[in-house]
Structure 1
Amino acid sequence: MADQTGNKRVLAAVDQAARRLGLRPGMAVAHAQAAVPGLAVVEADPDADAVALEQLGVWCLRRYAPLVALDPPDGLWIEVAGAAHLFGDEDGLVEDLLTRLAQRALSASAGVADTPGAAWAVARFLPHEPVVPPGGHAAALVDLPVQALRLAIESADGLAQLGIERIGQLTQMPRAPLRLRFGPEPGLRLDQALGHALEPLVYLDWPEAPMARLVFADPIGAPETLARVTEHLLTDLCAELERRGIGARRIDLVFRRVDGLSRSLRVATIRPSRTVRHLVALLAERLALVDPGFGIDEAVLCATRTEWFDAAQADLGDLAEEPAESGLAELVDRLGARLGRGRVYRLAPRASALPERAVRRIDPLAGVEASWPADLPRPARLLAPPEPVAVTALAPDHPPALVVWRGRRLRIARADGPERVHGEWWRSEAEAGLVRDYYRVETVAGDRFWLFRDAPATEGGRWWLHGLGEA
């Protein structure tokens, strides 16, 4: 990749194959093409690279640590002190970072050290050992080439001509002759890497929430006008989200009335989104709740929660079939807007012997890692809590023959059981002796129930109805 520097074109970046052939950033393109005939060179786009680097920095700011600084053209500094424990340790943070970047087809290396200069050197010249123990950065730098100090090409070449190729050799040189011949850069970079000189970093600010705003010369209030305004605002907002490389997870729409009062709507999405059609549909579900009063003179739309947006989620419209997961996410959002977010979920198994604890609510699109045992059928509906019933049995330890529930007398035609379930003694002492005997029964009318006795018949156990139907 080539870029214009002054009056000559130089290599701005090289891939691994070119690096193995001896090419490196900063080399003149003419020199590189002479050294490697047939070299493929593409033009660099520094402005687009700068925007992409800033977007990546904002993503790291949101996910990893509150202090992130840019190191153009291809680097970031992340202050992980106080944040690495959220991922287990520094190794866990590095693994999470590199894995997520690889999932987005971004090739990266990382380094963790006590100083920004040492971390820069480790990331680029010692990537197989990315985490340097506290206080170990000086030893880690000794055998690295002087290029690891971020020296200008001319300085690195001049040191090589003197036989100084490693940082360890440079530390043994007297500073005065070094400064006289190469200027202050080598000594300053060495001191910064070793922690003897301060290296100030300019950290990114938290980005302002993406926002779109319209002010009206004449108050509006008709429902169809509010719908058109909402779509117009969403078009502007989604363009801004795309520019930043993020998607909306929560959107607030505020209408300010002429009487000084405001009416607001909030919608949330289960996945980051910047598709106008989808977001319009969510807000359209709520627009009927807006009371315009004597008129609305201003509308503000703000994405109050955003996340990194995966390009694979982009809406291709009529050019491609919509991915199944994307369509399901939109359906979940629509249901959440109508019924309430907390009422849309899926059930997943949980490792528990007690039926009421063997089920948990999870995100509607979350994967399920476990499943219920196929040889333990369960009813389609559990009662919470179980309801007491009166039972008549042919013998103390026999299945029920007659059940009285909510004033109804249910004659049992078939029964299967018992299935004995013990309490979870590790939770509390009260459960140490808990025993339930479950029976699956079918009435003469064909109804199916799930009953249990909370103690053996000889101990006066009571009967309870716990489930209806059959899975």
Structure 2
Amino acid sequence: MFDGMQRRVVSMWFPRLASDRVLRARPVDGPFALTLKQANAERLHCLNMEAERQGLYRGMSFADARAFCPDLQSRPADPVGDARFLHVLRRWATRYCPWVGLEGDDGLVLNITGAAHLFGGEARMLADMRQRLNRAALSARIGLGDTRGAAWALAHFGEGRAEIDQPFEALAELPVAALRLEDSTVTGLQRLGLRRIGDLEGAARAPLARRFGPELLLRLDQALGRQPEQVTPLKEPPHYGVRMSLPEPIGLFDDVMAATSRLLDQLCAKLKTQETGARGLCLTLRRVDQEALTVKLRLASPLREAARILPLFERGVGEADAGFGIDQIRLEAVQVEPLPVDQVSHVSTGRADRLDDLITRIGTRIGLENVQRFLPADSHIPERSFLIAAAAWSEPGGPWVAPRPRPVRLFLPEPIAGTGTRPPRQFRWRRMALTIARAAGPERIAPEWWLSDDNWRSGMRDYWHVETRQGWRLWLFYTPQNPGWFVQGEFA
């Protein structure tokens, strides 16, 4: 691809990537650090320049840092957010060249071969990089060389650029740690008096290979251009969008649905290739007057079957005002989830699919968050034995497991008159006079001491399952510590 052209590589190092990302959103004055738990201890993960001036450093115990610098401000680190931010920077760096890869978790590597002239030369390109990063409040060090190793060394230990065909002159005075070596290897070389790359280049290679292994000489040769080292760009994520431009404007419902069906076939084929399913879809209808109408669809489960998705657009398309006609239609999956291929079985019923489609249809009218289901919870307290969750983002929790039958209706405890530890033979509840025919119990339930609940401050409860002569089957309980009777549930 670059035959006859000298290879040039840029290395960008962001020494304070994590703290810069946080301070861009919420600036603070004074020393600041991000903390990360390591080996059961909070340690400093990334610091700003003011904190480093106070003598703090990465890996330092947070307790020692606070004692040494009382005005230190801190926040928890977010390595996942930092990784996402680095990918954003990688995409931004493609403005300079198409070959951009990641360099560890705090750097980028760019193969700018044949691209520097577009910015007026290498010097102007590097100046443009620094200027834009400074405006973005990002600390960065940039190195430029003929090899990836040389660029990395200059960025980390001697910011600048190596002249073409002179990598050794630019690297000779840098420490051996600039060769991306293990700490143990660097320490061993320093004990032998080999502190600079120039010293290492002048030493005998065979003894070094026997003592430190082949990696040492490989890193040296890569930095000096004797061994190749490629810059592998990250693959761009797939784009799940399709578009259709119409030769003549359309406005009838059937015509719009027919065009949507064709787009769905294309989109679902792409989703199937990537083994993903759509959870959110956006259909954009552009009218001839340049106004765009959008029909958004949120699905209860990831789908890639056009026949199941198409009917779900009917309500939104039917309410769209086509005006003088629609000349362009665009369909995009704005939210996707992994959907591996499943083995088809002759015993599959498809009931789950029909339930998901029903949840989606109802959700398009009242919102998916308002379609809820009950899930079992791991608690012996009646009020805590279930959870209410959105059906679209939860799965049935399996069978309900209870040591004894539970009422189908559960409500707040309602006091009734009664004395003694056994259910009263006669009592009044909700203005009704009831007489107990049979009673089963007691089932003693103790409060969960690790949770605070005002309804259980009276202590343990003795539950009884009673049947009345009037036909009511109720759940009663007695509170021994604070004597009293209550009704809390009703059986079917």
Structure 2-normalised TM-score?
Answer: 0.49
Q: How many residues align?
A: 312
Deviation at 1:248? 1.5
Which residue pairs with 1:449 in the alignment?
474
Deviation at 1:238? 1.5
What stretches of structure 2 of length at least 5 have no aligned partner? 1-79, 91-100, 107-147, 150-179, 189-205
Checking the alignment, whether the CA contact within 8 Å between 2:300 and 2:368 is kept in structure 1 is no
Q: 1:344 to 1:403 in 2, by over 3 A?
A: farther
Deviations along 1:246-300, one digit per CA (max 9) or x if unpaired, are 3212112233445665443333334433221122233335544444455444332
Checking the alignment, whether the CA contact within 8 Å between 1:442 and 1:449 is kept in structure 2 is yes
Distance (Å, rounded) in 2 between the aligned partners of 1:269 and 1:78? 35
Alignment of 1:230 with 2:235, yes or no, is no
Alignment of 1:184 with 2:225, yes or no, is yes
Percent of aligned positions that are identical? 28
Distance (Å, rounded) in 1 between the aligned partners of 2:457 and 2:413? 23
Q: What root-mean-square deviation, in Å, do the aligned CA atoms of Structure 1 and Structure 2 show? A: 5.0
What stretches of structure 1 of length at least 5 have no aligned partner? 1-60, 70-76, 83-115, 118-133, 143-161, 190-198
Alignment of 1:426 with 2:450, yes or no, is yes
Deviation at 1:303? 0.3
Kindly provide the amino acid, as one letter, of the partner of residue 437 in structure 1.
D
Structure 1 SS opposite 2:342: helix
Which residue pairs with 2:336 in the alignment?
306
Deviation at 1:81? 4.2
Kindly provide the amino acid, as one letter, of the partner of residue 446 in structure 2.
H
Q: 1:335 to 1:404 in 2, by over 3 A?
A: farther
Distance (Å, rounded) in 1 between the aligned partners of 2:274 and 2:362? 30
Checking the alignment, whether the CA contact within 8 Å between 1:348 and 1:371 is kept in structure 2 is no
Q: 1:387 to 1:203 in 2, by over 3 A?
A: same
| Equivalent position to 2:404, from 372, 376, 388 | 376
Distance (Å, rounded) in 1 between the aligned partners of 2:218 and 2:482? 92
Distance (Å, rounded) in 2 between the aligned partners of 1:174 and 1:374? 65
Alignment of 1:268 with 2:298, yes or no, is yes
**Map 1:220-299 → 2, pairs under 5 A:** 220-257=250-287, 262-284=292-314, 286-292=316-322, 295-299=325-329
Distance (Å, rounded) in 1 between the aligned partners of 2:183 and 2:401? 53
Distance (Å, rounded) in 1 between the aligned partners of 2:462 and 2:104? 54
Deviations along 1:417-443, one digit per CA (max 9) or x if unpaired, are 332323222223855653333222223
Q: 1:371 to 1:208 in 2, by over 3 A?
A: closer
Q: 1:219 to 1:429 in 2, by over 3 A?
A: closer
Checking the alignment, whether the CA contact within 8 Å between 1:416 and 1:441 is kept in structure 2 is yes
Checking the alignment, whether the CA contact within 8 Å between 1:235 and 1:276 is kept in structure 2 is yes
Which residue pairs with 1:336 in the alignment?
360
| Equivalent position to 1:359, from 386, 391, 413 | 386
Checking the alignment, whether the CA contact within 8 Å between 2:465 and 2:473 is kept in structure 1 is yes
Deviation at 1:342? 2.9
Structure 1 SS opposite 2:404: coil
Distance (Å, rounded) in 2 between the aligned partners of 1:227 and 1:337? 17
Distance (Å, rounded) in 2 between the aligned partners of 1:171 and 1:224? 67
Higher-RCO chain (CA-CA 8 Å, sequence separation at least 6): 2
Kindly provide the amino acid, as one letter, of the partner of residue 328 in structure 2.
E
Q: Which has the larger displacement, 162-171 or 338-347?
A: 162-171
Which residue pairs with 1:202 in the alignment?
233
Deviations along 1:40-89, one digit per CA (max 9) or x if unpaired, are xxxxxxxxxxxxxxxxxxxxx99x866579xxxxxxx877749xxxxxxx
**Map 1:43-192 → 2, pairs under 5 A:** 81=105, 136=182, 168-170=212-214, 184-186=225-227
Deviations along 1:371-399, one digit per CA (max 9) or x if unpaired, are 6544322122323xx1635x354x43331
Structure 1-normalised TM-score?
Answer: 0.51
Checking the alignment, whether the CA contact within 8 Å between 2:374 and 2:387 is kept in structure 1 is yes
Checking the alignment, whether the CA contact within 8 Å between 2:181 and 2:216 is kept in structure 1 is no
Kindly provide the amino acid, as one letter, of the partner of residue 233 in structure 1.
L
Kindly provide the amino acid, as one letter, of the partner of residue 475 in structure 2.
W
Q: 1:252 to 1:80 in 2, by over 3 A?
A: farther
